[in-house]
A and B are shown apart, each in its own frame.
Chain A
C-alpha cells in the first residue's frame, strides 16, 4: 500500500509522454494498418493479402538488404584501417582529420546527396574538370542513379560510425597487449589476426549492425542519388504511397521494415553490452605513438586519404559548387546562388523563397527541441527511477517502447499523420504543429538516450549530502541536480534541434507546399532542371551544413568534464 502511494508521484510525469506516444505514434500507425487491412479505393489492396504475396515486396527487401550489406562492407573496408590508425598513431593533423571524418555523419541526407551531386554529378566538380581537361562534350562520369554512387555516399555518411566505435574501442585497449603478443613470438600479421581483431570483434559487430541499420533504412540519399531498381524499403514505401497510391504494399513494407529495424536494434544493443565490459581496462593516458615502419606509415596515410578524399572532397565540392567562379571574384556573381535564395524569379505560385523555408525549419526545430525535452526528461527520469521505490513502469518496458519510434519508417509516420489527422477527432492537417510533432517523435529516443546515462551517473549521495546540510528536496534538485545535468540537457536540446533541421522523410509527406522545410526545398531544387536550381540547392545545402556543423561543435564543447 505504502509502496503504491510512494510510486504515484513517479507515475504522474510519465502520463504525458505516454499519451503523446499513444496519440502521435500508435494512433497514426494503427490508422494506416486498419486502412490497408480493408480493401478500399484509398488503399488499392488488402494488407494481409499483400503480405501473403511475397512477390510484391520480396525483390525490394532482398535488393535493399544486398545494398545495405555491400554498403556495410565498403564502409568497414575503408573505416577499419582508418580507425586503427587514428587509435594507435600520432601524426600531423590527426585531430583535424579525425574531426573531418566525423562531419558527414551529422549532415542531413539531402546535403549528402547534394554534396555527391556537386562532386560526381553531371554538373559536378569531377565531370567539369575532366571535360575541361580532356575537351569532352559529354560528362565522362555517369554515376547518378547507379549502385556505386549509393555505396560511396553511404560509406561517406557512415565511415565515422566505424571510426568512432571501433577506434574508440581500440584506443581504450592497452597497446601492451600487442607488445605482449610480439614477445610471445607472434608476427605482425598473427598479432592482427589473433589479438587486435578478435579483441575488437564485438565493437566491429556493433558498428556493422549500426551501419547496416542506417543504410537499410536510408531514404534521402537513395531517393535523390539512386533509381527505382536500387530503392530501399523506405524509398519504395514513398513511391508506393506518393506515386502509385498502393497503401497496402506500403503498409506491408513498413511492417517488414519495423520488424527488421527492431531486430537489428536488439542485436546492436546486445553487442554494445558486450563491448562495454572490457572498457574497465580503459587507460587514462594517450597511448598513441608515431607511426614507424612502412606498414604503420601506410595506415596513417590511408586514414588521411579517407578523411580528405572520402569525407572532405564532397563537402568541399558542395561549397565550391555553390560559389561559381565564372564571374571572377565579383561578390554579386560569386554569391549569386545565395542571393537568389530570397527571390522568386518565375513568380511561381507554389514558390517559397528559400529564406522563408529556413525560417520554417528553425521554428519547427525550436518547437521540436522544447517538446522533445518536455517529454523526454520525464521518460528518462522514469527509466532511471530507483528500483526500490517501485516505479510503475519498468525501465525494460520503456526501453522497448522507445525502440518503436526508432523502428518506424519516417515516411510511414508522415503518411499516417496525413491520413489519421485529416478527419475527426483530430483535424490537424495543415496545422503548423504537425511537423514539430512528427520530429519530436523521431528525436525522442535520442533525447532519452542522451539523458539517461547522465541521470544514472548522478550520485544520489550528493543530494543526500545536500539534505543533511539543510537543503530541502526541491532546493537540492535545483542546486545540485540541475547544474550537473546542464550539459546533457543542452546536448539533448541541440540533438532534437538538429534532428528536426535534418529530417526529410516525414517532412516530405507532411509539409504543405506553401510551408516547406529546408531539406524539402533542397530536394525540390535538386530534382528540377537548370543551373540556377542546382546552384541554389548547393547554396542552401552549404548553409544547412554550416548550421549543423556549428551545432555539433557546440555539443562537442559541452561534453561533461566533471571527473569526480
Chain B
C-alpha cells in the first residue's frame, strides 16, 4: 500500500530524517509518535508532496510517487491548527477539494452537507471560518480533508492546539468519525501524545531523532518498549539498571539494586547482559504478599487522585532512587514507611544500557 523507503531529509544543513523506512497496510491506521523535532511532521509532508526528500523513495499502490506533484496525488491532509482558508465559508472550505476536481455544484452541496452532519456541525456551512471556535475549526478541517475521499488520509497533530477537555472529547469523536468515514482508508496520524496514539492506532511507529525507534501494536509498545529512551518518552520513569543473572527454559532472573526478580523468559537476552528493568506504575500493591517481590521504603510525596493514589517511594535498599507508583485503596501518608509487593508481570526487561 504505502511504502516509505530510506527517506533522508536535511533541515538547515543538519540531518532531520536519517533513513526512515516504514510500510502501511491497506486500511491501517498508523500513528507516527515522537517528540517535537523528531521529523515526523516532515515525513508526513514528504508523503503529501509538500516537501522533497534528499534521498529515498515513496511508493503507493505499487507505483513510485516521488515525482508526482502534491495536487495530483489524491491524498488528504489535515494540518496542525486546521489551515482553513480565511476568505471562504465553512462550506466552501469543505467543498474546495471537490471543486478542484471539477465536481458539479449540486454534488458539492450534497457532499458538504453530508460531511457537516458527520462532524456534528450541520447548519454551520455559511459561517465565516474566523467566527468558529477552535474545536469547530478542527472539525471543519477534518471534513475538508475527508470530502474528496482521499486515497491516503494524513493527520498532522490535529488535536494539539486544543485545551485538555476539548482534546479528550474530540479524540473520542475522531475515532468514531475515522471508523465511519475513513473505513478502509489508510491513515497516517502524526502526534506527540501517546494517549492519542494508543487510542487511535492499529500500529504505532515511535520516532526518535530522525529514525524509527520502534514499530508495533499499541499493546506491544506499552508492554515492551524497545529502549530506555522509548520507555521514557512513553512516560515511564521507574527504570532500574539490572543484570541478567540466570536464564532458564521458562523464566529469567534479573538482579537490581532492589533485589532479584524472576520474570517471564526472554530468549533474546543472555546471562550477564546489561539490561534495564521497567516497573510500570500500576505494578505495586500495598503490603507484603506471599511469593511476590517485596520492597520496603518510605513514602515521599503522596497525591490523592480519587480512585487511585500516586506515591513517590524511596526504597530502603536504594535511597538514591525514587519509584513513582499508582495504587488503589488506602495508602500511607507522606513520611510513613511502606511495604510494597511488585508484580513481575507488570515489569519488563529492556535490552541495552540506560543511555
Q: Which residues of A contact B (CB under 8 A)?
A: 388, 459, 461-462, 464-473, 475-476, 480, 483-484, 562-564
Contact = CB atoms under 8 A, between A and B. Distances in A.
B85 interface: yes
A563 to B, nearest CB: 5
Given A465-B79, A475-B100, A564-B130, A470 B86 contact: no
29 contacts: A459-B83, A464-B83, A465-B83, A465-B144, A466-B85, A466-B96, A467-B49, A467-B50, A467-B69, A467-B70, A467-B71, A468-B70, A468-B71, A468-B77, A469-B97, A469-B100, A470-B72, A470-B101, A472-B71, A473-B69, A480-B85, A483-B87, A484-B87, A562-B86, A562-B87, A562-B130, A563-B86, A563-B130, A564-B129
A469 B74 CA distance: 7
Interface in B74-112: 74-77, 79, 83-87, 96-97, 100-101
A470 B72 CA distance: 6
B71 A471 contact: yes
B148 interface: yes
A49 B70 CA distance: 65
Given A462-B85, A467-B69, A471-B71, 11 more contacts: A459-B83, A464-B83, A465-B77, A467-B49, A468-B49, A468-B73, A470-B97, A473-B69, A562-B86, A564-B84, A564-B86
A455 to B, nearest CB: 15
Contacts of A470: 71-72, 74, 97, 100-101, 148
Nearest to B81: A461
Contacts of B69: 467, 472-473
Contacts of A562: 86-87, 130
Contacts of A459: 83
B15 to A, nearest CB: 16
A374 B23 CA distance: 49
A462 B69 CA distance: 16
Nearest to A564: B86
A53 to B, nearest CB: 54
Contact of A464 (B76, B79, B100, B130): B79
B254 interface: no
Given A475-B100, A562-B130, A564-B130, A468 B76 contact: yes
Given A468-B48, A469-B144, A564-B130, A484 B71 contact: no
Contacts, number: 72
A95 B49 CA distance: 50
The 6 A-B pairs of least Cβ separation, nearest first, read A469-B97, A470-B100, A467-B70, A562-B86, A564-B86, A461-B83
Nearest to B129: A564
B76 to A, nearest CB: 7
A397 B49 CA distance: 33
Contact of B79 (A461, A484, A564): A461
B141 to A, nearest CB: 9
A467 B69 CA distance: 8
A484 B76 contact: no
Contacts of B74: 470
Interface in B93-149: 96-97, 100-101, 129-130, 144, 148
Given A564-B129, A564-B130, A468 B85 contact: no
B100 A471 contact: yes
With a 10 A CB-CB cut-off, give which of B48, B75, B85, B129 has the most chain A CB atoms: B85
Interface string B45-64: 10011100000000000000
Contacts of A473: 69, 71
A467 B150 CA distance: 13
Contacts of B73: 468
B7 to A, nearest CB: 18
Contacts of A483: 87
Contacts of A388: 12
Nearest to B80: A461
B83 A462 contact: yes
A135 B70 CA distance: 84
Contacts of A564: 84, 86, 129-130
Contacts of B45: 464
A37 to B, nearest CB: 48
B194 to A, nearest CB: 25
A457 to B, nearest CB: 11
Contacts of B49: 467-468
B12 to A, nearest CB: 8
Nearest to B132: A564
A564 to B, nearest CB: 4
B306 to A, nearest CB: 37
Nearest to B74: A470
Contacts of A467: 49-50, 69-71
Given A466-B96, A564-B130, A484 B70 contact: no
A470 B75 CA distance: 8
A537 B50 CA distance: 60
A482 to B, nearest CB: 10
Nearest to B141: A465
A97 to B, nearest CB: 31
A412 to B, nearest CB: 43
Contacts of A468: 48-50, 70-71, 73, 75-77
B189 to A, nearest CB: 16
B187 to A, nearest CB: 14
Nearest to A388: B12
A372 to B, nearest CB: 25
Nearest to A475: B100
A562 B70 CA distance: 27
B70 A464 contact: yes
Nearest to A459: B83
B52 to A, nearest CB: 10
Contacts of A466: 71, 85, 96, 100
A422 B48 CA distance: 58
Contacts of B97: 469-470
A473 B130 CA distance: 25
Contacts of B129: 564
A476 B97 CA distance: 12
Nearest to B156: A461
A469 B83 contact: no
A465 B79 CA distance: 7
Contacts of B101: 470
Contacts of A484: 86-87
Contacts of B48: 464, 468
A467 to B, nearest CB: 4
Nearest to A484: B87
A388 B13 CA distance: 11
Contacts of A480: 85
Nearest to B97: A469
A461 B141 CA distance: 13
Interface string B28-48: 000000000000000001001
A471 B73 CA distance: 11
A466 B69 CA distance: 12
Contacts of A461: 79, 83
A483 B93 CA distance: 14
Contacts of B72: 470
Residue of A466, A468, A480, A484 ringed by the most chain B CB atoms within 10 A: A468
Contact of B50 (A464, A471, A472): A464
B111 to A, nearest CB: 13
A475 B71 CA distance: 10
Contacts of A465: 77, 79, 83, 85, 144
A449 B83 CA distance: 26
Contacts of B75: 468
Given A480-B85, A564-B129, A469 B148 contact: yes
Nearest to B72: A470
Contacts of B84: 564
Contacts of B83: 459, 461-462, 464-465
A483 B89 CA distance: 13
Contacts of B148: 469-470
A473 B83 CA distance: 17
A465 B158 CA distance: 14
